[in-house]
Structure 1
């Protein structure tokens, strides 16, 4: 048995809620939902951590404006630095935004390593920005974070919804709790998908309107929290 698994259990023992934010495909705003959820919870004076587990395309550091932050402090592990009062950890600290062509066992080892070395301390919420799709990262998260409750993100697109359906079915087969599904990038002309999500046997948490001004706030957390996107998200994200 990999000794890191026991270490991971110890690292997470003082985390009250583990919330992986996942989607069936990329481009649906999952990283923005994860990052903004962490910021919103921190604004409410919760102790919050944000972990970017997207090994191939980490982006939360860009959203938070954390590209130039110093490397995390080392003390019997890695102590994640705080960004806007959110404890933040990302693989980008090690890849330095260079391509990370990992596959198979290398992906699993990388995830186990980052989980075993990161000292989160006491947290109310640990938000995990998952990579898109159903791959090693999702399966490893289920195995290594068995107490997780997944928050799923889709757009009104038929393609996005079809992939989320697959993700829901996979999580249900593994008996993993699902907090619900958030519909992002809603426009007046979008098809109605609320009932389709409810038919999956999961909660439809609500919609987030397409925000044309969102892009200009990337890298500025304070401005991000002032957007319609953040205000809509605050209304639909569940109170765990």
Structure 2
């Protein structure tokens, strides 16, 4: 296999899996369409509107021989969600082949905590033993991939792990984990998506993939506060928070709103990346957040034919960490398995690929856990 051909292999694997998914969608039951058609005949209080055209029905599916109908109901803000759920359920039960209707209600709007946390003494998240930030000074260095890899290896060791995707303008954790579906609300608390042994919450699960978030500071602050304290995280041993790159509103909000055990930094060994990395580290130091260590990503490419090593971004970062007085957690290579899992999704990747990817994170998690005590 020529050098670099692993990239083509990644895309062939992903294309094959996407083709399989597309065929499954094409083979969808005719009865699903019958359900949708029936729902269009249910008039809402707004004239000439039905639940389908109003966009209230999400993730519609049928199970148990198409006799059980499942969907997520997104009631409009200010509406009686329970009454709307009952009305739609009764309407669908008119279909003689429908045995049961299972409906999950979402929050019609964000509801903030009753009071603002004290920035000088931020509270813990109830039921979460450790909160660890994963950050970088620069985008594109693989921070989200490293967050997911650390989480997967922690789960393999029996830890209860959650991942909060706080990269609000570029959420990628749902794609990395292969997660879909909209989180539902129960008693004014969002229920995170359970996938591959973790609890996942991301704005990528609450918006459409191509939707841009044009948010200023106050909205961003309120939303992140909600995702910290109004999500049912408990019980967790570790909550990993995937930060957006840089030193803007999102990292500062998180640093001020919640008790944090420490931060893991991710960087490539380029001088340009290190300039931005130093700025992000300075933010954590100014806010008294312990530095748990640095992960050097995309450190080396190993030729699959001859085994020769190439360092595409320059020398390693061990000396940098010694000079900065922080632990060096380890290096990650340019790896077929890591990129395949990130592109196809943890849920969709085969077991051998997932095992190979997670294996790269074993020594990193070893060192990371050395400084963490679990009760």
TM-score (structure 1 length as normaliser): 0.90
CA 40–137 in structure 1, closer or farther in 2 if over 3 Å, else same: same
CA 64–104 in structure 1, closer or farther in 2 if over 3 Å, else same: same
User: 1:70, 1:138 → 2: CA distance?
Assistant: 25
Q: Aligned-pair RMSD on alpha carbons? A: 2.1
Give the Å deviation of 1:5: 3.5
Contact 1:4–1:112, Cα closer than 8 Å, also in 2: no
Aligned partner of 2:283 in structure 1 is 170
CA 40–4 in structure 1, closer or farther in 2 if over 3 Å, else same: farther
CA 70–101 in structure 1, closer or farther in 2 if over 3 Å, else same: closer
Aligned partner of 2:201 in structure 1 is 89
Give the Å deviation of 1:112: 1.3
Contact 1:36–1:225, Cα closer than 8 Å, also in 2: no
> Where does 1:60-75 land on structure 2 (aligned, <5 Å)?
60-67=173-180, 69-75=181-187
Contact 1:47–1:125, Cα closer than 8 Å, also in 2: yes
Per-residue CA distance 1:107-163 (angstroms, 9 max, x = gap): 112211222321111110001111111111111111112333111101111111111
Contact 2:128–2:234, Cα closer than 8 Å, also in 1: yes
Q: Confirm or deny that 1:38 pairs with 2:151.
A: yes
Structure 2 unmatched runs, 5+: 1-112, 301-309
Per-residue CA distance 1:160-191 (angstroms, 9 max, x = gap): 11111111122112211110111010123231
Using CA pairs under 8 Å that are at least 6 residues apart, name the structure with larger relative contact order, 1 or 2: 1
Q: Secondary structure at the match of 2:355?
A: coil
Aligned partner of 1:232 in structure 2 is 360
Q: Confirm or deny that 1:105 pairs with 2:229.
A: no
Aligned partner of 2:332 in structure 1 is 208
Per-residue CA distance 1:42-99 (angstroms, 9 max, x = gap): 11111111110111000000000003x3433423411212101101111122222211
> Where does 1:77-156 land on structure 2 (aligned, <5 Å)?
77-97=189-209, 98-156=211-269
Structure 1 unmatched runs, 5+: none
Aligned partner of 1:191 in structure 2 is 315
Aligned partner of 2:163 in structure 1 is 50
Contact 1:168–1:200, Cα closer than 8 Å, also in 2: no
CA 175–38 in structure 1, closer or farther in 2 if over 3 Å, else same: same
Give the Å deviation of 1:232: 2.2
User: 1:92, 1:172 → 2: CA distance?
Assistant: 30
User: 1:209, 1:182 → 2: CA distance?
Assistant: 11
Aligned partner of 2:95 in structure 1 is none
* CA radius of gyration, larger in: 2
User: 2:182, 2:223 → 1: CA distance?
Assistant: 21
TM-score (structure 2 length as normaliser): 0.59
Q: Secondary structure at the match of 1:126?
A: strand
Give the Å deviation of 1:213: 4.1
User: 1:13, 1:75 → 2: CA distance?
Assistant: 16
